[in-house]
Amino acid sequence: MLLKSKPDIGESEVTDKRLWLDRRRFLAVGAAFIGSGAPALAGPLANVGKSGWRVDDPSTPLNDVTHYNNFYEFGTDKSDPAQMAPSFFGKAPKPWTVTVSGECAKPAAVAYEDLIRPHRLEERIYRMRCVEAWSMVIPWVGVPLGEVLKRFEPNSKAKYVEFTTLVDPERFPGQRGGTLDWPYIEGLRLDEAMHPLTLLAVGLYGEELLPQNGAPIRLVVPWKYGFKSIKSIVGIRFTQTPARTTWMKAAPREYGFFANVNPKVDHPRWSQAKERRIGEFLKRETLAFNGYADQVAALYSGMDLAVNF
């Protein structure tokens, strides 16, 4: 169930004892990094408003959100990002610049702070679904991507948006090998990018993003499989044609451009009809568009979603 009215929810209603304990452990890890001489990257985000975009599913505990991740720049195992994240501390992720280019009237290289500052930060609680059939519910903090993109005035030739992740093997040890063709590239159709659900995230659970979650700025597209929500973005480009994305290049039979959550279209190596929510034992039915069909299904009217997977 997706609620659009702006609720008046107190902190005690969203933070149970287990999450509070996870948060304490999370802060203890940050303290350990400080003690080792590495700067702590996570910190509380100020002036975050509550958004009407939220689901009533229980949120996944912070410890799971920050310790069970896909981020191949740090390694291929789910635990690698959290374990290898200290490599990111050697060079703090700020200052950070995002270069916006392509089919727009106002291309620019913009500092992270200037990209975010004009917009109101808001918390949105989204379901997130991985192509490997596991899922989470995450309280993201960010700004609507469409509001950011409008500032650069995409022109009539702009039909798609391409995103690029930082390439820096010193920070990302996973980039020292040939697991994927670096840099990591993802893309959306322009109307998908401008949709009000699409979020440019800078935090979760009220804190700045940690490296394993895509610090300092990442995409969140909740009706698509997780690999579309590209992390540590340094490039945004308006294009006339769709990007040849990283996973399309690596395994075109398995990963398509659209990557909409679709229980009726299986991955070649496993079913997508069910998923396991992290922290739960039993599987649950996968929802079309990850439960956001009422909001986004019209974007794909007339398309064969088995072909355009």
| pLDDT above 50 (res 157) | yes
- pLDDT greater than 70 at residue 243: yes
In the chain, domain spans? 2-300
pLDDT value, residue 28: 36
Mean pLDDT of 218-224: 98
Predicted confidence (pLDDT) per residue in 71-82, tens digit:
999 999 999 999
Residue-level pLDDT at 13: 33
Task: Compute φ and ψ for 89, nearest 5 degrees.
Answer: -70, -25
How confident is the model at residue 182, as a pLDDT?
A: 97
pLDDT in tens, 178-189: 899 999 999 999
Fold entry, domain 2-300: Sulfite Oxidase; Chain A, domain 2 (3.90.420)
pTM given for the model? 0.86
